[in-house]
Amino acid sequence: MNKKRHLYKRPNPVEDAKIKVTNRIIDEDSTNRIGLQNPTYIVIHEVSLGTGKSPITYNMEHYANMVKQYGKIGRSVGFHYVVGDKEVCQFIPDDVATEHTGTKFGNTNSISVERLICEGINYEYATHNQAKLIATLMLKHNIPLENVLTHKEMQRRFGEGEKKANPKQCPSRMLAGFRGTVQDFKTEIKRCFIYGWFFEDLLDEKTKNNIPKIQEVAKERFASKNSELTPPKMLRDER
Ligand SMILES: [Zn+2]
């Protein structure tokens, strides 16, 4: 566990609480809806600046238009969520599959959470929001932290051929250790459980009412060794 207690600064609590998940679900007949899924994994992405292909001027609107456009021109690539520093948008429902991992397994069993990188964005707030959204989705779908993978790790485990041998360096900044490692990011996810930071608009009433209890259990579980493997299902079962 990283010794730094507050790696990613979060916005002040009032501002933080104001951010809701904006529903920008793409059309039912979009070609980047490739079927239904029951998500058991969550994939950490960063918009593909890592490849050097995306200009820094590409903002949330750019990606929103892109995913919409792809769905109209027969492309199957998509993303479920894009997370910025001040806004979080959902484009594809959690139970709908889309191509985002380069692996058949990943594309049909996981939710993609892209972190926006663009001009003027506050990296720490965006990273905090990404962790907070992933914690929320873990809780919502009973997905354990061990099933939260980077895009790279998803390809390494479930990819084939060249993809497995040379997985994509995504999320590139995090993999490079910029302002924290993947492990630090997972610590931030645990903090979300401990402090009860969730996008509550995505949770049902029963789960919301149980957040204090979930926090209590998370405090105990995440304080122990090997806490990495603590499944939120256990947290839910005990509420
Ligand atoms: Zn990626």
- The 10s digit of each residue's pLDDT in 143-154 is 999 999 999 999
Instruction: Give domain status of residue 4, yes or no.
Output: no
Looking at residues 125-130, what average pLDDT do you find?
A: 94
pLDDT at 3: 44
Instruction: Give domain status of residue 8, yes or no.
Output: no
Instruction: Give domain status of residue 199, yes or no.
Output: yes
Instruction: Give domain status of residue 5, yes or no.
Output: no
C-beta contacts of 118-124 below 8 A and 24+ residues apart:
118/47, 118/56, 118/57, 118/58, 118/59, 118/60, 118/62, 118/84, 119/56, 119/57, 119/59, 121/84, 121/85, 122/85, 123/85, 123/173, 123/178, 123/179, 124/8, 124/9, 124/10, 124/179
Distance 157 CA to ligand 1 centre (A): 15
Distance 113 CA to ligand 1 centre (A): 9
Distance 177 CA to ligand 1 centre (A): 16
pLDDT at 15: 85
Q: Which two tokens stand for residue 112?
A: 């993609």
Give this prediction's pTM.
Answer: 0.91
Instruction: Give domain status of residue 106, yes or no.
Output: yes
Q: What is the pLDDT of residues 176-235, one digit of tens each?
A: 988 889 999 999 999 999 999 999 999 999 999 999 999 998 988 887 655 554 444 444
Residue-averaged pLDDT of the chain: 88
pLDDT band at 11 (very low <50, low <70, confident <90, very high): confident
Surface-to-core class of residue 29, CB atoms within 10 Å of its CB (0-12 exposed, 13-18 middle, 19+ buried): exposed
Name the domain count of the chain: 1
| Enclosing domain of residue 218 | 13-237
Is 80 exceeded by the pLDDT of residue 236? no
CATH of the domain at 70: 3.40.80.10
Distance 48 CA to ligand 1 centre (A): 7
Distance 92 CA to ligand 1 centre (A): 16
Instruction: Give domain status of residue 2, yes or no.
Output: no
Phi, psi of 94 (to 5 degrees): -60, -35
Distance 212 CA to ligand 1 centre (A): 33
Distance 225 CA to ligand 1 centre (A): 30
Distance 239 CA to ligand 1 centre (A): 34
Distance 201 CA to ligand 1 centre (A): 25
Instruction: Give domain status of residue 6, yes or no.
Output: no
Q: What is the pLDDT of residues 55-102, one digit of tens each?
A: 888 999 999 999 999 999 999 999 999 999 999 999 999 999 999 999
Instruction: Give domain status of residue 1, yes or no.
Output: no
